[in-house]
């Protein structure tokens, strides 16, 4: 006798009872981009619904997202002044530090992760100090200033540090620096498998971080390499990372599943700007049912093994979950 799978599908209540993967508001981390000034809320053309905001507008956004049950954000800074080493992010009055303090003063329960990198702060757009001979990032010199940046974030009140520069040894460096400065309980979410992806294009519009020359393939991962991707993440686990990540997510669900099967640590999927923009513009053009495709995509990340998702869809997803 053949198996009748439809027995578990015909009744809606039974379908819901046997559903294997469920999205909740606790799954999402919402990216926010802060810049200098007041009363600034500028939409990014390539990413409808995503804004560069001044601190006062960030506070308004935090008030709203808290009201819909979204209490986890990741902050990115956009400074007015950039230089060769990104020195603006190394001072205790940096745009990120001031934003953390302002949010925590008004919304102490907001969970703030901070992106730790230099591409938004350097005048060349690369993720650290350049080696003039190789014309790529000097790994070890960048580790030194990354530790300084982590301490700035920690002192300002960040709840989690998320280093995204793909420097070898970054987790060990940050863990040592944080521990030695009294932040032993501050977790690190490693951008442990971050590919040199074309899906990042719109992010460079909102973060103003396009490299002035070349690309980032000398330090970010080759998208063709699955086994190396696993080794990258497992090395970050050995160095003391608390959460691992796959970025981007949509074209790398195989890596997400492989990583989920290889570690007991929580795994984060970063649903990046290009993935978001494709769905947004397709929805605006009437090519897809945007809300259904969005939720199906987010569910796919969880089904592939993600415990949490950094996504620009987070606010809309929480609004939809409220309607159910």
Q: Establish whether 91 is an annotated binding residue.
A: no
Q: Establish whether 217 is an annotated binding residue.
A: no
Biggest distance spanned by C-alpha atoms of the chain: 72
**Burial letters 99-130, b for 16+ CB under 10 A, else e:** bbbbbbeebeebebbbbbbbbbbbebbbbbbb
Helix (H, G, I), strand (E, B) or coil at 75: strand
Q: How far apart are CA 243 and CA 241, in angstroms?
A: 6
Catalytic choice (71, 82, 247, 302): 247
Q: Establish whether 180 is an annotated binding residue.
A: no
Q: Establish whether 101 is an annotated binding residue.
A: no
Q: Establish whether 204 is an annotated binding residue.
A: yes
Token reading at 7: 């027995």
Token reading at 99: 């934003």
Q: Establish whether 62 is an annotated binding residue.
A: no
Q: At which residue do the structure tokens 């030194």 appear?
A: 144
Q: Establish whether 66 is an annotated binding residue.
A: no
Q: How far apart are CA 314 and CA 71, in angstroms?
A: 11
The residue among 5, 16, 7, 56 whose CA lies nearest residue 34 is 56
Does residue 194 carry a catalytic annotation? yes
Q: Establish whether 318 is an annotated binding residue.
A: no
Catalytic choice (194, 280, 315, 323): 194
- Active-site residues, by number, are 194, 247
Residue numbers in the known binding site for Zn(2+) are 117, 119, 127
Residue numbers in the known binding site for Mg(2+) are 232
Residue numbers in the known binding site for 5-aminolevulinate are 204, 216, 273, 312
Residue numbers in the known binding site are 117, 119, 127, 204, 216, 232, 273, 312
């Amino acid at each position: 006798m053949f198996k009748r799978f439809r027995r578990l599908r015909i009744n809606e209540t039974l379908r819901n009872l046997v559903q294997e993967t469920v999205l909740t508001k606790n799954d999402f981390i919402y990216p926010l981009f802060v810049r200098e000034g007041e009363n600034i809320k500028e939409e990014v053309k390539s990413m409808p619904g995503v804004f560069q905001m001044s601190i006062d507008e960030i506070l308004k956004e935090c008030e709203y997202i808290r009201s819909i049950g979204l209490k986890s954000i990741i902050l990115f800074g956009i400074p007015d002044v950039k230089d060769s080493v990104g020195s603006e992010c190394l001072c205790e009055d940096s745009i990120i530090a001031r934003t953390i303090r302002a949010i925590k003063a008004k919304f102490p329960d907001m969970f703030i992760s901070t992106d730790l990198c230099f591409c938004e702060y350097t005048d060349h757009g690369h993720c650290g100090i350049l080696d003039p001979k190789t014309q790529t990032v000097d790994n070890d010199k960048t580790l030194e200033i990354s530790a300084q940046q982590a301490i700035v974030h920690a002192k300002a009140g960040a709840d989690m540090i998320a280093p995204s520069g793909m420097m070898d040894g970054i987790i060990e460096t940050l863990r040592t620096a944080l521990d030695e400065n009294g932040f032993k309980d501050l977790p690190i979410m490693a951008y442990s498998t971050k590919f040199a992806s074309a899906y990042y294009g719109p992010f460079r519009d909102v973060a103003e971080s396009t490299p002035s020359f070349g690309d980032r393939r000398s330090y970010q991962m080759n998208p063709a390499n699955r086994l190396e991707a696993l080794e990258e993440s497992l090395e970050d686990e050995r160095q003391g990372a608390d959460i691992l990540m796959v970025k981007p997510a949509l074209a790398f669900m195989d890596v997400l599943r492989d990583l989920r099967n290889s570690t007991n640590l929580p795994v984060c999927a970063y649903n990046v700007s290009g993935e978001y923009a494709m769905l947004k513009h397709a929805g605006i053009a009437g090519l897809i049912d945007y809300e259904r495709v969005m939720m199906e995509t987010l569910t796919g990340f969880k089904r592939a093994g993600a415990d949490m998702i950094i996504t620009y869809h987070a606010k809309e997803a929480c609004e939809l979950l409220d309607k159910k």
